Amino acid sequence: MIHLMNSTIRCFTSLLTLAGLVLASSLAVIAAPGAHGPDGEHLTEARPTQGNAIGRQADGSVQMPMATQQQLGILTQWVHSSITEKYVQLDGVVRHHPSGRAVVQPSSNGRLDSGPHGLPVSGQVVQAGDVLGYIRYQDSAYELANQNSELIALRSDAEQVQRDIRRLTALGDLAPTQQLEQLQTQLQRLTQQEQLLQQGLEKPEVLLAPMAGIVHSDNISRGQWVQAGTTLFEIINPAQLMIEAATVNAHLLSDIDMAVLEHAPDISLRFTGYGARLKQGQIPLYFEPVMHAGATKVPLILEQPVRLRAKLKQQQQGIVLPAQAVVRNNANMPVVWIKLSAERFLPQQVQYMPLDPERVLILQGLGDDNRVVIHGASLLNQVR
C-alpha cells in the first residue's frame, strides 16, 4: 500500500514538472517578438526585477497592460531599412518676384490728392488701370506769374495771326497762297502750345495702378507735398513670389532637385538657380512656389522667414518613421520606443534626420525587424 502511494506521488510530481516546463516555454514564445539593436544584437526581454509592477521599471522600460494601451491609442509597426531621397534643411525668406511687383511714383513735384474712391489703404486689392490718386502741381508765385505771362503772350500771338489770316482771306484770289498757308500753320502751332500750357497749369497728374494686386503704402495723406520719383504706392501680386535661401556648401548647387516649405508641405518649390555673387558671405538660392491642384492656399508674406527642406539628387539608406515616433528622454536625447513583449516597451536612443514635416529617417540606433511605437510614443515617455 505504501509502495503504491509513493509511485502515485512520483508520477504526479513528474506531471507537474512537465506542465511547468511547457508553460514556461509558452510564455517565452509569447514574450519574444525578436527585437534587435542597431548591430543585430538581441535586446533583453527578461522580466524586470520588480515583477509585474505597472509603470516605469528600473531599467527604463515601461510595463503597460493591453487595456491601457488601447485606451491611450498605442500603435506599433514592424520597421525595415530602405533607400530614400536625401534632404537638406535651408533657411530662407520670402521675396517679391520681379514680375509680381510694381511701384507708383509721380513724375513731377506736387501735392497728393485722393482718387475718385479715396486713397487706397494697405491691403486693398486693386486692378490694373485703377486711379489711385492725383498729383496737383503747385507753382510758386514767381513761377505762376511767368507761366501766366507766357500764356498771355501765346494768346496775343495767336490773335495777331488770326487777324492776318482774315485780312489775306478778304483779298480773295489776289492773296498769296504760300503766305496764307504759313499763317495757318503758325496759328495751329500757337493753339497747341496754349492748350499744353493751360493743361499744365490746371490738369493734375493721374496715378494709375500698373498691375493688379495688393496695395501697400506708408505714411501718405491727402495734401501731402511729394517730390518726383517718390514711391507712394507699392503693388504686390501674391501669386507671383519667390523664396530666397542661402548656403555655404557649393556642392549643393548641382544636387538640389526641388524643395518644400516646412509649414506648408502642399507648396512645392521649384529650384530656379543661384546667384552669381555672394550675399553676406553665402550663396543665394532661388525657388519659385508651385501650388498643387486642390491644395490649401497658404499665404506667403514678403520678408517672411521660412524653413525649406530641399530634396537632393542623392539617396541614402535608413528606416523611415513618422515624425511623432521620435521623442526626447530626460537627457534631451532622441529615442524611439520598441515593443519587447505584449505589455513591455523599451526606449532606444537613435540618430535621425527629418525628411519632411511628417517623416524622419533613422540613421543609427535602430535595427531591422523591430516593432516600433508610431503613435502614442509621447504618452509612453511620460510614464513614471
The vertex-14 CA angle with 8 and 18, nearest 5°, equals 145
Cα separation of 165 and 123, whole Å? Answer: 59
CB crowding 162-174: b at 16 or more within 10 Å, else e: eebbeebeeeeee
CB crowding 16-30: b at 16 or more within 10 Å, else e: eeeeeeeeeeeeeee
What one-character DSSP code corresponds to residue 369?
S
pLDDT per position as a tens digit, 295-317: 556 678 889 999 998 888 888 88
For every residue of 56-75, DSSP letters joined together read E-TTS-EE--HHHHHHHT-E
Residue whose grid cell is 482774315: 166
Closest alpha carbon to 314 in 282, 361, 276: 361
Q: Is pLDDT larger for residue 159 or for residue 15?
A: 159
Closest alpha carbon to 354 in 160, 37, 84: 84
pLDDT at 14 over 50: no
pLDDT at 326 over 60: yes
C-alpha cell of residue 215? 496695395
pLDDT per position as a tens digit, 146-204: 777 787 888 888 888 888 888 888 777 767 888 878 888 888 888 888 777 776 655 78
SS3 content of the chain, % helix, strand, coil (to 5): 30, 35, 35
Coil vs helix vs strand at 260: strand
Cα separation of 228 and 232, whole Å? Answer: 10
pLDDT at 112 over 50: yes
Cα separation of 215 and 102, whole Å? Answer: 10
Cα separation of 261 and 271, whole Å? Answer: 13
pLDDT at 13 over 60: no
Give the rounded distance of the alpha carbon of 366 from its chain centre. Answer: 33
Q: Give the global pTM.
A: 0.58
Q: Which ranges of the chain would DSSP assign to H, the alpha helix?
A: 2-30, 66-72, 141-170, 177-202, 377-381
Cα separation of 132 and 301, whole Å? Answer: 23
Cα separation of 165 and 183, whole Å? Answer: 6
